Structure 1
C-alpha cells in the first residue's frame, strides 16, 4: 500500500483554520495535517490484508515521525505531483515483490477502520479473481473523488487522482467498489468533512488536535434586568 503525504505547509489548504477556530496559524494547521496522516497510517498498519506499506513524502517532519515509528518512507520527486508520487511508490514496492497486488490510499482518512480496508481489499480481490477487471477503486463520500485504488498482481496501478478522480478511474476501466465503508470513504478536505469524520470517530492523533483547539466564543446573553428594563407583570 502506498500513501502519499504532501508537505505539511501546503497540505489540506481548505482545512486551514480548522484546528484553531479560524485563526489559520501555520503550526496549528501543520499539526492537524500530520495528525490526519498518522491516524490513516495507523489504521493501515493494523489491517490484516496489507503486507507492505510505503509512505511517499518530501516533508522532513512527516518522514521523521513515521520512520521513528518503523514505517518505511521514500522521498517524493521534486515537483512531481500526486500521481507520479504514487507511481514511484508502486515501482518501489514491485521492486521488492514483483508479484504483489498494489494499493494507493489517500492520507486524510482519520476515521478509517482497519476492518473497512480489509473488506475493501477482499472485495476487490474477489472481483479480480472473477473476471477481466484488474483495477478497482473506492469513491469518497461525495462520489466524486477517490480514497483507495487497487490493482491485481501483474497490473499497473495507473492512478488518476485529483478533482473528479472517481469518474476518471471508472473511465480508465477500474471497478467502482460498492461497499458501505464510511471511514474509508470519509476523506477530509473541508471543515465540514472534518466534523463528519469526528462524528464517525477519528483516531487518537486527530482527536488530540481537535481536543486542544480553542472553542469558539459565544456572544454573552444579556437579561432585560441587566439593561434596566422592568419585567412584565404577571397577568394573573
Structure 2
C-alpha cells in the first residue's frame, strides 16, 4: 500500500469485491444541502464527498475495483484520477437503473465478481470499517447497511452469482429487507452509515471526521465568506 495524505491506497488489486458508486451530475447532486451550504459550495461538496468515498473504498484491502456511474465530465475526470473506472449513465433512468448498469459493466468483464453498491456521499468513510462490512457481507447472498437515520440504505451487496436488485431511494431499508437481503448491524461501522443529504448530516459526518477532499472544500469556503 502507499499513503496519500491521510488515506492509505491499496495497490494490491486482488480483492474480491467490485463496488458500484452512482453519482448524479454535480449541478443536480445534493440539492437538499443548498440551504446549509449555498448554491456555489453544494456542487463542490458533492464532488468532494464522492472523492473521499472512492478514495476510502480503493484503500480497502478487500476491494478490487470501483466503478463510478456518472455523466458528469468533471466528476468523471476527478474520480478517474483516483483510480476509479468511469461508466456513462446510459440508462439515464435514475439511481437504481444506474446501479444495475454499473453491475452489468463489472460482470461483463468479470462474471464471477462479488458486487456491492455504495453511496457516493460518505465523506467520513473509513477503509477499515468498509472492510468489516464486506467481511460480513461475504457470508450472505445479499446484504445491506442502513443509513444513520435507519430509513435508507448506504450499501448493498450481491455475492458471486447473485443479482444486486437495488431498491434505493426513500425508505429503502424496508424494501431491501423485504427482498430477502440481510441487514448488517455490527458495531463500529458508523462511517459506512453516515451519508450526507442535509446540514445536520454534514455536521454528523464532520464529528466522525471527514476525508481530505471534503475538509479542503470546507476550509476553502471559510476565507471566501470572510472576504
Name the TM tier (shorter chain).
0.7 to 0.9
Aligned counterpart, 1:202: 210
| Alignment check: 8 A CA contact 1:17 1:29 kept | no
In the alignment, the residues of structure 2 paired with residue 69 and residue 44 of structure 1 have an alpha-carbon distance, to the nearest angstrom, of 11
Q: Secondary structure at the match of 2:74?
A: helix
| Number of residue-to-residue matches in the alignment | 205
Shift of 1:53: 1.0
User: Shift of the alpha carbon at 1:29?
Assistant: 1.6
Let me know the Cα RMSD of the aligned residues.
1.4
- Mapped to 2, the partners of 1:99 and 1:78 lie a distance apart of 23
Alignment match of 1:95 (pick from 85, 89, 108):
108
How far residue 213 of structure 1 moved from its aligned partner, in angstroms, is 2.4
TM-score normalised to structure 2 length:
0.87
TM-score (norm 1): 0.84
Gaps of 5+ in 1: 129-133, 218-236
For 1:32 and 1:187, locate their aligned partners in 2 and report how far apart those are by CA, in whole Å.
Answer: 13
Give the secondary-structure state (helix, strand or coil) at the position aligned to 2:145: strand
Which structure is higher in strand share?
Answer: 2
Give the counterpart of 2:162 among 137, 155, 162. Answer: 155
Q: Residue 63 of structure 2: SS of its match in structure 1?
A: coil
Bigger Rg, structure 1 or 2: 1
Deviations 1:176-211 (A, max 9, x none): 001221100000000000001000000001001111
Asked if 2 retains the 8 angstrom alpha-carbon contact of 1:137 and 1:148, the reply is yes
Q: Is the CA contact 2:52–2:123 (under 8 Å) kept in the aligned structure 1?
A: yes
Shift of 1:163: 0.2
Partner residue, 2:41: 28
Identify unmatched segments of 5+ residues in structure 2. 1-18
SS of corresponding position for 1:213: helix
2:53 matched residue in structure 1: 40
Structure 1 runs (4+) deviating above 4 angstroms are none
Aligned equivalents of 2:133, 2:55: Cα separation in 1: 17
